[in-house]
Amino acid sequence: MKNINGFVKTQLSNGLAVLVKEAHAAPVASFWVWYRVGSRNEHLGITGISHWVEHMLFKGTQAFPKGVAERDIAREGGVFNGMTGYDFTTYFATLPADRIELALRIEADRMVNALFDPDEVAAERTVIISERQGAENEPEFLLSEELMAAAFRVHPYGTDTVGHMCDLERMTRDQLFAHYRTYYVPHNALAVAVGDFDADEMVRLVEQCFGATSNSPDIPPMNAVEPPQRGERRVVVEGEGNVAYLQMVFRAPTVHGPDFFALTALDAALTGASGVTFFGGSLTNKSSRLYKALVATELATAISGSLLPTVDPFVYSLSAVVHAGVTPAEVVEALDAELARVAAESVTQKELTKAIKQVKAQFAYSSESVTAQALWLGFSGIFADYNWFENYIANLSAVTVEDAQRVAQKYLRRSNRTVGWYVPESNA
Amino acid sequence: MSTPGPEDITRSELPNGIVVLVRENHDSPSVVVSGYLHVGAYDERPEQAGLATFTAGTLMRGTANRTFERIYEELESVGASVGLGGGTHTTGFGTKSLVEDLPLVLDILTDVLRHPTFPGDEIEKLRGEILTDLEERAHDTRRMAGLTFYELAYPEEHPYARSLIGCSETISALNRDDLAEFYAGGYGPQGMTIVVVGAVETGDTLARIEDAFGGWEGHSYDRDPLPDVPRIAEVRERTVPIHGKAQSDIVLGYPGPPRAAPDFLDAFVCNTILGVFGLMGRLGENVRDAQGLAYYSSSRVAGGPGPGPWRVIAGVNPVNVERAIASIRAEIRRICDEPVGERELDDNKAFITGILPLQLETNDGVARTILNMERYSLGLDYLQRYADLIGEITVGRVQAAARRWLDPDAYALAIAGPPAI
């Protein structure tokens, strides 16, 4: 039964987790299925397989042959897409609320019935390779790929979700299909609906569409644990272009302890709160410490920070575009001075108050969209629980100046980081 | 929330010419302000390319009442944003905040639009950022293909042929006086439109806007009509070599219908069929899905006050460039030569009208829609008429629009990427 806020959290007998939330501001609804599989579940030889499987789920089933699901959603006035991350693969549709059942029928069908036609696998191989080559056109992707490989030498987080070119060239249809069969089961998935409907009726509809889906054997365990880092690591990538880039990642705490929120608040002081909001943040960061230290001083033209919540401990990353005529080493020197200052003096209470207000505003903005709300509920369900999202502002508000200083000293150390420079060939 | 219309949009004109439109939405505690001024790259000389955008950027760098640091400290402290951006015909502005912070946001917006001081050190910083961005652009296949397309599709003297952000020569040559003079000559209330959408009270909001801008007496530029843009009668092709890249970007297109053209909606439906519907329409189906040539291949008809482009984009492996172009041209030929199917047309029309609730879900979406209704004189009841306007478009009208604006054998084509091996 829904609670007073029109919210239901439940689980079907086959293990499918279900989160449903009413939102009546606009006559629309968003439906998502999140699978607990992503590049975290991959190894050399099959890197990129989760992302490729995601593409194959748009290539047809018996009930919805190729192109039919997209067409049916579009002609109802909906949008329809999928995304693959380190920890998840997710599919969503947002539609006029009275048409949302179509999204449930499509997702329930392709949870088990995707065809993986060999010809379609072959055609999609070149599309995926093209997607990777498009990314390779960006110097920041080339740097990030090398940097993450250096930061993680055991854990799959060291490999980008798109996968290595050699694996994309050789992976087989049977490997893709086996991956699908292994991970696309109700007890490895989370269904989320937010929109202009009755929550109890929506739960019944989910039960009706997904209740009969059976499970396969257990999900293979993911045992990789990244060993402690013993000293700073450095990466230099040389490539075409006229502009240098700097990226720096620090091994970060798990989402489950207080350190995560303290580091989140610290990031807001250092690079602004758009890093706090993960998706769709549109805030500028020109009053942040690192903007003042790097951009206002004309060492860099942009600086950003990110602390992505993940299942296993990940990294806190800083990324800068180096100003023409400046070297990455000069940017690192100025950045180090700021990190030393924050470790010695912490941030101010005013900076913490600002971060909380920024997050509250971002939450208000994202509440206008059922798609954003469903994304948040589902995403937090992947690495924690929807409560993590609901308690986000309270946990951030509990961070003290002392907490921020403690995490600055604990995590933002040289020996805990990997530093990457992209050096354009004209300067190499 | 109902579809925005004359019943719940309040339109008002201030004595100095500013048009204000307000729509209340109390479902979220936020508010969006969106609008434009009648000044842009249209008003700059060719040798000053980038001046309008540079000037708009400079306004946020310091005012008579606030330094650059203070502007952003005040805004970011409350999680609000104010942005300004130069366009060709207009300079746009937008704000987003919690409703409790609207007075602050309006005060800053007024300050930057009416009292900029053009601080020399901040101008130099902004110039450095623009020049670095231009260095990045020179090695970005997508941006270079886009830039080159405009140069090919429009006559040299036409403002559309120039880059909005300029090039390193023009940006390096502009000085503080150029920016201040451009501002003084063209920023003013004439032709300015402001839309406010959110958890506000209409009467109070109109009073606030009048208080902020009612006393403004700026100037505006006299504009010569845009030069004629003849239909492209041949193939105009240029390749920008960028070594060391993995992928080439293609832009193939034409000067398209202005928003006010009688067949704009016909072209819009035609374009949806060609490169939007489902997974990038027929282009997605052919170039991506059937042939596996590209991760993206889609099309867009820009509309706008002038003959904005109707163009196809694709990102492909360098060895597949010719094949991709042939496929794109084949799809253009098909939509010109063969009537689209009734079922396909119905599906596309259902998509175009059905997606309105999604586009009107957020304050941003509503503000954007109302601004367009005002800008193109569509009428406040436009959304209520929209389904009928789309509904009456026929197979014949779609084909006529394709034939009028597209041509598989005469087009502008820009390619940026590594030479094929």
Q: Mark yes or no for CB contact A283/B81 under 8 Å.
A: yes
The tally of domains found in chain A comes to 2
- The confidence band for B333, taking pLDDT boundaries of 50, 70 and 90, is very high
| Residues of chain B contacting A136 with CB distance shorter than 8 Å | 245-247
- The confidence band for A139, taking pLDDT boundaries of 50, 70 and 90, is very high
Give B35→chain A minimum CA distance, Å: 18
| Residues of chain A contacting B134 with CB distance shorter than 8 Å | none
Indicate whether B12 pLDDT > 80: yes
pLDDT for residue A367: 84
Domain final residue pick, A159, A177, A210? A210
Interface check for B2 against chain A (CB to CB < 8 A): the answer is: no
- Listed in sequence order, the DSSP H helices in B139-263 are 141-153, 168-173, 176-186, 202-213
Q: What is the mean pLDDT of residues A280-300?
A: 90
Candidates B136, B344, B360: best to mutate against A (most CBs of A within 10 A) is B136
The CATH H-level (homologous superfamily) assignment of domain B235-417 is Metalloenzyme, LuxS/M16 peptidase-like (3.30.830.10)
Q: How far is A160 from A143, CA to CA, in rounded Å?
A: 11
Do both A204 and A241 map to the same domain?
no
Question: Residue A377 in contact with residue A192, Cβ under 8 Å?
Answer: yes
Q: What is the mean pLDDT of residues A57-62?
A: 97
Nearest CB partner across the interface for B247, out of A26, A133, A239? A133
* CA–CA distances in Å: residue B203 to residues B2, B94, B250: 20, 21, 50
Q: Mark yes or no for CB contact A425/B244 under 8 Å.
A: yes
Indicate whether A81 pLDDT > 70: yes
Candidates B249, B323, B362: best to mutate against A (most CBs of A within 10 A) is B362
Interface check for B298 against chain A (CB to CB < 8 A): the answer is: no
Interface check for B341 against chain A (CB to CB < 8 A): the answer is: no
Indicate whether A5 pLDDT > 90: no
> Taking Cα atoms as reference points, which of B264, B257, B275 lies closest to residue B348?
B275
Do both A305 and A240 map to the same domain?
yes
Name B37's Cβ contacts closer than 8 Å, sequence gap at least 6: B90, B91, B93, B113, B186, B187, B188, B191, B192
- The confidence band for B77, taking pLDDT boundaries of 50, 70 and 90, is very high
Interface check for B288 against chain A (CB to CB < 8 A): the answer is: yes
Q: What is the mean pLDDT of residues A160-167?
A: 98
Asked if residue A269 belongs to a domain, the reply is yes
- The confidence band for B224, taking pLDDT boundaries of 50, 70 and 90, is very high
Question: Residue A290 in contact with residue A338, Cβ under 8 Å?
Answer: yes
- pLDDT digits 0-9 by tens, B85-99: 989 999 999 999 999
Mean pLDDT of chain B: 96
Give B175→chain A minimum CA distance, Å: 19
- Give bridge partners of residue B237 from the DSSP assignment: B413
Q: What is the mean pLDDT of residues B349-376?
A: 95
Q: Mark yes or no for CB contact A77/B353 under 8 Å.
A: yes
Q: Mark yes or no for CB contact B351/A323 under 8 Å.
A: no
Interface check for A124 against chain B (CB to CB < 8 A): the answer is: yes
- The confidence band for A390, taking pLDDT boundaries of 50, 70 and 90, is confident
Q: What DSSP element (H or E) covers B371?
A: helix B363-375
Amino acid, single-letter form, for residue B155: P
- The confidence band for A363, taking pLDDT boundaries of 50, 70 and 90, is confident
| Residues of chain B contacting A349 with CB distance shorter than 8 Å | none
Domain final residue pick, A210, A243, A265? A210
User: In 3-state terms, what secondary structure has residue B148?
Assistant: helix
Q: Mark yes or no for CB contact A129/B139 under 8 Å.
A: no
Task: Give the ipTM.
Answer: 0.92
CATH of the domain at A238: 3.30.830.10
pLDDT for residue B380: 97
- pLDDT digits 0-9 by tens, A248-287: 999 999 999 889 999 999 999 999 987 555 554 568 999 9
Asked if residue A224 belongs to a domain, the reply is no
Q: How far is A356 from A79, CA to CA, in rounded Å?
A: 32
Q: What is the mean pLDDT of residues B254-277?
A: 98
Q: Mark yes or no for CB contact B30/A368 under 8 Å.
A: yes
| Residues of chain B contacting A296 with CB distance shorter than 8 Å | 125
Indicate whether A428 pLDDT > 70: no
Long-range pairs for A142-145 at CB < 8 Å and ≥24 separation? A142/A237, A142/A239, A142/A422, A143/A235, A143/A237, A143/A245, A143/A247, A143/A420, A143/A421, A143/A422, A144/A247, A144/A420
- The confidence band for B1, taking pLDDT boundaries of 50, 70 and 90, is low
> A-contacting residues of B 346-385, CB under 8 Å?
346-348, 350-351, 353-358, 360-364
Interface check for B247 against chain A (CB to CB < 8 A): the answer is: yes
Q: Which two tokens stand for residue A118?
A: 């060999």
Q: What is the mean pLDDT of residues B244-255?
A: 96
Share of chain B above pLDDT 90, in %: 94
Would you give the end-to-end CA distance of chain B in angstroms?
56
Do both A122 and A175 map to the same domain?
yes
List, as one string, the DSSP characters of A276-312.
HH-SS-----TTSHHIIIIITTTSEEEEEEEE---SS
A359: left (phi over 0), alpha (psi -120 to 50) or beta: alpha
Range of the domain at A20: 7-210
pLDDT for residue A389: 86
Q: What is the mean pLDDT of residues B190-211?
A: 97
Q: How far is A54 from A207, CA to CA, in rounded Å?
A: 24
> B-contacting residues of A 331-360, CB under 8 Å?
354, 357-360
Give B380→chain A minimum CA distance, Å: 20
Do both A11 and A119 map to the same domain?
yes
Q: What is the mean pLDDT of residues B212-239?
A: 95
Return the domain boundaries, chain B. 9-213, 235-417
Q: Mark yes or no for CB contact A96/B357 under 8 Å.
A: yes
Q: How many CB atoms lie within 10 A of CB B393?
A: 20
Q: What is the mean pLDDT of residues B143-167?
A: 97
Do both A150 and A245 map to the same domain?
no
| Residues of chain B contacting A302 with CB distance shorter than 8 Å | 129
Q: What is the mean pLDDT of residues A21-49?
A: 97
> B-contacting residues of A 270-299, CB under 8 Å?
272-273, 282-288, 292, 295-296, 298
Give A393→chain B minimum CA distance, Å: 14
User: In 3-state terms, what secondary structure has residue A59?
Assistant: coil
User: In 3-state terms, what secondary structure has residue B12?
Assistant: strand
> B-contacting residues of A 75-94, CB under 8 Å?
75-80, 94
Q: What is the mean pLDDT of residues B251-258?
A: 98
- pLDDT digits 0-9 by tens, B293-322: 888 999 999 999 999 999 999 999 999 999
> A-contacting residues of B 149-168, CB under 8 Å?
none
Q: Supply the DSSP symbol for B284.
A: I
- Give bridge partners of residue B239 from the DSSP assignment: B415
Fold of B9-213: Cytochrome Bc1 Complex; Chain A, domain 1 (3.30.830)
Mean pLDDT of chain A: 94
| Residues of chain B contacting A425 with CB distance shorter than 8 Å | 244
pLDDT for residue A283: 84
Do both A180 and A321 map to the same domain?
no
Q: How far is A134 from A129, CA to CA, in rounded Å?
A: 9
Question: Residue B269 in contact with residue B387, Cβ under 8 Å?
Answer: no
pLDDT for residue A281: 55
Rounded to two decimals, what is the model's pTM?
0.95
Share of chain A above pLDDT 70, in %: 97
Indicate whether A19 pLDDT > 70: yes
Amino acid, single-letter form, for residue A170: R
| Residues of chain A contacting B289 with CB distance shorter than 8 Å | 66-67, 123, 127
Indicate whether B421 pLDDT > 60: no
| Residues of chain B contacting A82 with CB distance shorter than 8 Å | none
Give B7→chain A minimum CA distance, Å: 18
